[in-house]
Each structure stands twice: as C-alpha cells, then as structure tokens.
Amino acid sequence: MMSIFDQDLPQTSANYAAISPLSFIERSAQVYPQRLAVVHGSGPSALRYTWSELYRRCRQLASALSLDGIGKGDTVAVMLPNTPPMVEAHFGIPMVGAVLNTLNTRLDAETIAFMLDHGEAKVVIVDTEFAPVMRKALTLRKSTTFLNVINVTDTFYTGLNQPVGKLEYEDYIAGGDPEFDWELPDDEWSAIALNYTSGTTGNPKGVVYHHRGAATAAVSVILEWDLPKHPVFLWTLPMFHCNGWCFPWTIAARAGVNVCLRRVEAQAVFDAMRENGVTHYCGAPVVHAMLVDAPDAMKEGVASGIRAMVAGAAPPASMIEGMERMGFNLLHVYGLTEVYGPATVCAKQEAWSSLEIGERARLNARQGVSYHLERGIAVMDPATMKPVPADGETMGEIMFRGNMTMKGYLKNPKATQEALHGGWFHSGDLAVMDPDGYVRIKDRSKDIIISGGENISSIEVEDVLYRHPAVLAAAVVAQPDSQWGETPCAFIELKQNAKVSSEEIIAHCKKHLASFKAPKAVVFCELPKTSTGKIQKFELRKQANAIAS
C-alpha cells in the first residue's frame, strides 16, 4: 500500500526547482547589486563590474547565443585565461541550456581540434593570445559543421593581437538583451560543463558535469572552507581546470569578488593581494611554493590571514612552514576532474595545532575525508569492492560516490561503465585508510613500480628525495629492467646553485628506505609540468624507457 506521505503530494514548481549554480548569480545580483563582482587589472584603468553589471553581461551573452540558435545540449568551447569573459562563460552559456567546454590554454592545436570535433562545439570563444594555436586547430578540425568563432581582445594582454575571426566578444554580447529571460534547466541532471582530462594515454576523455553536481560542489567548498560572505578571491587557479574547482559558482553564491589574473607570477599575485585585499586563493603546490620562495620585499604589506587551498600533491612540511611564516592558512584538498575538482579535505583536528611541524605536516599531507555533500569516499579492493582495513597499511583504490561525481564520459559508454562500475567512481589512485578514517594516497595505479614482485610507491621514494637539502623537485618512475622487471628511476630538479651526485642521492635514499626501493638511476633536469603545475610523469617514463633501451 502506498504510504499516506506519497499520496496527493506532487512536485510542482512551487515546491521543486532544479538545483543549479545559475540561481546563485541571480540572487547575488538581486541582493548585492552594487557589490564588486569582478576586477581585472590594477589602478584606475582596472575593469570593474558589480554583481548587477556582471549578471547583465551574462544575460547578454546568453541572449546573443540564443539569437544564434544555441540552446539545450549545444557545446560552447572557450579558450580563455582567467579574465572576465571566462567568469561570464560560466553563467551565460548554461543560461541557454548549452554546455561550457573550457579548453586548457596550454594545449597544442591537434588536441584542441580533437576536442572541438569530439565535443561537437558550435561556438568557440578565444582570447587573442591563443589565436595562433586556435587558427591552426580550426584547420585541423575534421568536422565540417559551422563553428562560430568569437575573439576576446583583452586590454591587459600585452602581446600580439591577431584575432582569428571577425567577431569581437564585446560587440557580440552588445547584441544581446541584458534582461534576457533565461530559465533553469527542466532537469538538474542536464549537462552544464564538459572538461577533457589530460589524457596521458589515448584520446582525452570528456568529463560531463551536471547542474545538480556543480551547485553541490560550489556549496561544498563553502562548508569545508568556512567561506564567509563576500570573500575576495584571487584567480591563481585556472578556470579551465575543473571549472576552477567550481569556484566561479562558489564566488557567485557568496557574492564575493573575482580578482582576475592573466598570468600567475609572484609579483602580480602579491600586487593583486595588496591592491584588492585578497582573502582566499587556490592552487597546485607549485603556486604556493612560488609565493613562499619570493623575496621578502615583494611580500611587504600583504595582509596576514589569507587562506589558501592546495591540491594536486601533498604540501611538504617546508611549504606549510613557509606559508605559516607569511601568515597564510593552508588547507589541503584532493580530487580529480571526475569529481568536480577537490572532493576530499584533510579536515584539521583541534588536537593537531599543538603538534610539532613535522607531525602536523605528516597529518595534513593526507587526502583526508569526503566533502560533506559528497556521499562518501572509500579505499577498496577493486576486485572484491570491499573496503580495505583502516590500518594505514593495506593498499586499495580510492573510490567516490555521490552527487559530486560526474555524469560520465561523453560518447564513451565503455569508459563510463568502467569508471562507475559497482556503484563507485574508480579514481585510479592507490591509497591506505588510516585508523582515524583519513585516506592517504600511496600512488596512482599506473605510477606504482613493481620490482622483483614487490610494490614500490613512487610517492614514498619522492618523499625521501624531497628531504635532501639540494632537491627542489623530484619524480620517480618505473624503468624497465631485465632482472627485476622494473626499477625506480629518479628525475631531480636541483635548487639554484646546489650540487649533488647521483651516488649521494642513492645513498641518501638507502639511508631512509629499504634498499630495493632506492632509485637505480638518477637524472638531473628541469621537470616537465602540466599547466596546472603537475609533474608530467608520462614524459619522464618515456625518457626512462629511452635510457634503459
């Protein structure tokens, strides 16, 4: 028998609305119309929009797209740095039901052409800095359908301006109605964004985000970070990466300030912090390290208490110390594109604050616990789908489930089913569960080194390498070995003026590790990094293979 609570109590538009981050900007524009929403550049020439102005610009963009016939399920690609049009793209495009596909600005023309084809983009919005690569990508496209190209000529871009097409962004949106009557999607499961993963092997996969998940992720970070109303957020994290961890929507939900930044350089960051009273920023470890290592004079006058979020790799003790010296407060989070960026947090416990720095760093370096609004995280044996014991030793794969997990991979049902099988998203990251319920990554599945049948965590070896005073950055990959199958090969970037031999490095490792885990080969070089600061291990693996053969 149907329960009395399921009778005559239907969903109507009075009591049910699609969950979407689009409602955030509408509300902020209504309640805080005069508050600053976006600032770009510095001094009197800076571009400034209030929430009311930004909302009108987003509606203009939506209206202009709509006039061009762009609507539900159409892809609009953008190749933009962290400038105002990039913020606007996060609202104006989904306002017509279209899907925002942010392109990594460091990609080559071939990859971009692949993404435009695979994502079936109908419009592309491109900053003139990337005109050359986009021009080439357009010639490489296989699709013959019309692709509308819109240029963004940014006042603060000092390089060569050679637009790709004839349409200029400001003219384009000027043709749109600032009071455009957009609507929430009928279904909150509708796609809002398409983010291609870096694709170290094979073609990139298109991760699809939906409105429900984007709003959940945007609110989640408010909870995890205790993010107050009206934060002043500096865009050190590229918005093309997991939609900037959903922060364009978070900042709208908080009626904060988006401080734009074309290029992440220490001087520009500290200038922006001083000038705008920045309260929050995010980035990969390399961003924070750059700030820590900057000369003291550059930091003068920067307010204490700035809050920073770090993901991509665990922050080493030296970084935590350096941040503390600057008076910055660091929170460590972890995630993947498939879970809308970070979805776990190394939630700080009161008792940790009295620990010495080394122990604190060790605890804070962990990937931690699930975000509050994600359903859960687990470390499981992927064969049995049973959680490993919380003993800090047994390795398993990190799995996620809940509303902050992607809809799936675009036009790739096989990969979607593999990634989501068993009711969990399989991250591919290997980890242990500590007794306190905090997850600690040991390695990517594909980064693990199997030497004589024994697993060697590349991260464990790297941690030891980082402790050597001459080492600035280090990465360890598997090298084919006729005797052992694989052996660890270390790639090391030295600090300025530092000198050390391969033998010394190997001896240092043997002092701190079981002998078989020490690298057999050491290469000194500048490490190849992705646009988000991650070391590109697949490049190093190629080198290691070349050396071995």
- The residues of the shown chain that bind a copy of itself, judged by CB under 8 A, are 3-17, 19, 23-24, 27, 30-32, 35, 72-74, 99, 120, 189-191, 194, 208, 213, 219, 222-223, 226, 228-229, 253, 347, 349-350, 369-370, 372-373, 375, 400-403, 405-408, 410-413, 416, 419-420, 422-425, 437
Cβ nearer to a copy of itself, comparing 23 with 530: 23
Residue closer to a copy of itself (CB basis): 406 or 464: 406
User: Of 73 and 277, which CB lies nearer to a copy of itself in the complex structure?
Assistant: 73
Least Cβ distance, residue 421 to a copy of itself (angstroms)? 8
Minimum CB–partner distance for residue 220 and a copy of itself (Å): 10
Name which of 373 and 388 has its Cβ closer to a copy of itself: 373
Residue among 390 and 500 whose Cβ is closer to a copy of itself = 390
Per the structure block, which two tokens stand in for 234?
A: 């500096």
Q: Which is nearer to a copy of itself, 233 or 491 (CB)?
A: 233
Q: How far is the CB of 128 from a copy of itself (least distance, A)?
A: 30
CB of 332 to a copy of itself, least distance (A): 14
Judged by beta carbon, residue 373 or residue 475, the one nearer a copy of itself is 373
Decide whether 369 or 535 has the Cβ nearer to a copy of itself.
369
Nearest approach, Cβ of residue 130 and a copy of itself (Å): 25
What gap in Å lies between CA 249 and CA 350, rounded to an integer?
A: 30
- Using the minimum distance from each CB to a copy of itself, give the nearer residue, 163 or 408: 408
Kindly report the number of other CB atoms within 10 A of residue 25's CB atom.
Answer: 27
CB of 8 to a copy of itself, least distance (A): 4
Q: What is the DSSP letter of 156?
A: T
3-state secondary structure 166-210: CEEHHHHHHCCCCCCCCCCCCCCCCEEEEEECCCCCCCCCEEEEE
Shorter beta-carbon distance to a copy of itself: residue 152 or 331: 331
Q: Taking a C-beta distance cutoff of 8 angstroms, is the pair 122, 76 a contact?
A: yes
Residues paired with 480 in a beta bridge: 486
DSSP 39-86: EESSGGG-EEEEHHHHHHHHHHHHHHHHHTT--TT-EEEEE--BSHHH
CB 141 to a copy of itself: min, Å: 17
> How far is 68 from 177, CA to CA, in rounded Å?
13
Q: Three-state DSSP class for 410?
A: coil
CB of 210 to a copy of itself, least distance (A): 8
Measured CA to CA, the distance from residue 286 to residue 290 in angstroms comes to 6
Total number of residues shown for the chain: 549
Which sign does the torsion angle of CA 247, 249, 255, 259 carry?
positive
- Measured CA to CA, the distance from residue 305 to residue 324 in angstroms comes to 9
Show contacts of 516-520: CB within 8 Å, 24+ apart.
516/451, 516/452, 516/454, 516/456, 517/451, 517/456, 517/460, 517/461, 517/488, 518/461, 518/488, 519/461, 519/476, 519/487, 519/488, 519/489, 519/490, 520/479, 520/481, 520/487, 520/488, 520/489
Shortest distance, position 95 Cβ to a copy of itself, whole Å: 16
Query: Whole-angstrom Cα distance, residue 93 to residue 124?
Result: 11
Q: How far is the CB of 51 from a copy of itself (least distance, A)?
A: 12
